[in-house]
């Protein structure tokens, strides 16, 4: 499940080199972390598509930064370019810790017949869900009910091959070696919205472990959604409660996140962004044949995939939230409100995602970190059909930012969507810099 000018190199075992249905966006924020935005230079600005609509909450003159209005204007221009490149809709929210946050929503004219996009709309978080699942595990660790050194076998006896050698920490930081269940062809009908079955954590885990592992436990790093299917099953076993109840009672209610929930079916609870993918006739040639035909209502060369059942994402990617709710979640998480000091430190203990770059981007327990041209971010991204979101914060949770693009196939096969990929990376880069209240660096050899 899914989220630069010099994309981060990832070893061949990484999910970033998997087939199109891997649900781990190749345009992740770790790639954008090295990006210097180039689309907002004079002569490169793209006109917004005819009839598109961009609405923004204006920065207040008392917000304390003379450059904030300029950064909002830059974000609006980049959103316009992303719409021109093929995005049906975009939401950006930036809170630099001073004054009113920037909130912008933009959408194409054809998508407005379904929904008028607003910055406050709910959307599917995809793999951002992993940060929330890791938080639940670490809460239980702090209470003495789980230990990161617990072998999977202790909680799920007989369900995971070599489960005695795989610890909960390995599941949380993707060093278990388990095969990613979203690569199994049995999941593809659900991913495409053509199979509405209700998947359980145990069923998703069973799909993943019927394949050979990709390496021995603890020997390397490779992103695998099966890790979090196992985490979901452990949480259910250790507490005797559903993931929906745990998210509600341990995170959403205490933080007053009114639009954050773990869905039990395809039903939305509030106003929500509509997600789209190109229909089969308008998919670029580079998209594999098996991943071209989504289920949903067709119009204007697109398929509305908003009502597909996300249960196949499970603990790896099913949560629904909003940009504002997720900002509040990140602030509570990184400031220590949700976790004791020791458990927050464990979450932020990372392993390199590239063994050749030990000081490069790292993955902790359900959260990633990278040093960007404007500052060090903690973040995650999430891709599920119709929704690609990336969420950022600083180390203290004082600054937060989110970007939603209401389509996701381009992130699975970026080479097939070069314009959309380039525009998305540029917007991510500018959003990170706006979060730090800094201008986006320009390329050293810009013409």
**What six digits make up the tokens of 86?**
């093929």
CA distance 392 to 321: 15
Which residues neighbour 279 within 8 Å (Cβ) at sequence distance 6 or greater?
Answer: 293, 294, 298, 301, 302, 303
Which residues neighbour 56 within 8 Å (Cβ) at sequence distance 6 or greater?
Answer: 72, 76, 102, 103, 104, 105
Do the beta carbons of residue 208 and residue 228 sit within 8 Å?
no
Mind telling me the catalytic residues? 127
CA distance 314 to 129: 9
Do the beta carbons of residue 264 and residue 254 sit within 8 Å?
no
């Amino acid at each position: 499940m899914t989220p630069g000018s010099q994309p981060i190199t990832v070893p061949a075992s990484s999910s970033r080199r998997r087939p199109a249905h891997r649900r781990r966006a190749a345009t992740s924020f770790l790639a954008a972390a090295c990006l210097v935005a180039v689309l907002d230079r004079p002569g490169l600005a793209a006109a917004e598509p005819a009839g598109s609509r961009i609405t923004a909450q204006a920065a207040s003159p008392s917000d304390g930064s003379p450059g904030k209005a300029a950064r909002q204007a830059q974000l609006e221009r980049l959103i316009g370019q992303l719409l021109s490149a093929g995005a049906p809709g975009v939401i950006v929210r930036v809170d630099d810790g001073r004054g009113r946050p920037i909130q912008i929503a933009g959408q194409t004219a054809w998508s407005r017949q379904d929904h008028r996009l607003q910055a406050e709309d709910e959307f599917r978080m995809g793999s951002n869900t992993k940060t929330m699942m890791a938080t639940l595990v670490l809460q239980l660790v702090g209470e003495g009910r789980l230990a990161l050194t617990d072998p999977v076998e202790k909680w799920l006896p007989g369900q995971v091959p070599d489960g005695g050698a795989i610890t909960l920490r390995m599941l949380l930081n993707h060093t278990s070696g388990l095969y990613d269940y979203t690569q199994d062809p049995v999941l593809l009908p659900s991913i495409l919205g053509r199979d509405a079955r209700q998947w359980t954590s145990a069923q998703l885990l069973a799909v993943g472990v019927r394949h050979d592992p990709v390496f021995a436990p603890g020997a390397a790093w490779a992103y695998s959604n099966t890790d979090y299917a196992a985490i979901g099953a452990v949480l259910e076993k250790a507490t005797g409660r559903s993931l929906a109840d745990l998210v509600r009672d341990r995170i959403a209610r205490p933080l007053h996140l009114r639009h954050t929930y773990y869905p039990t079916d395809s039903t939305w609870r509030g106003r929500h962004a509509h997600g789209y993918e190109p229909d089969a006739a308008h998919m670029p040639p580079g998209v594999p044949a098996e991943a071209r035909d989504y289920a949903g209502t067709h119009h204007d060369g697109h398929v509305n995939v908003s009502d597909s059942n996300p249960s196949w994402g499970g603990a790896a990617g099913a949560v629904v939230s909003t940009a504002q709710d997720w900002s509040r979640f990140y602030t509570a998480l990184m400031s220590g409100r949700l976790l004791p000091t020791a458990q927050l430190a464990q979450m932020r203990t990372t392993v390199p995602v590239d063994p050749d770059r030990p000081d490069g981007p790292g993955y902790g327990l359900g959260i990633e970190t990278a040093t960007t041209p404007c500052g060090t971010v903690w973040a995650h991204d999430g891709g599920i059909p119709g929704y690609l979101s990336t969420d950022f914060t600083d180390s203290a949770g004082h600054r937060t930012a989110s970007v939603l693009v209401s389509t996701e196939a381009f992130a699975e096969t970026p080479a097939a969507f070069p314009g959309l990929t380039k525009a998305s990376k540029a917007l991510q880069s500018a959003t990170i810099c706006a979060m730090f209240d800094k201008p986006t660096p320009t390329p050293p050899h810009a013409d």
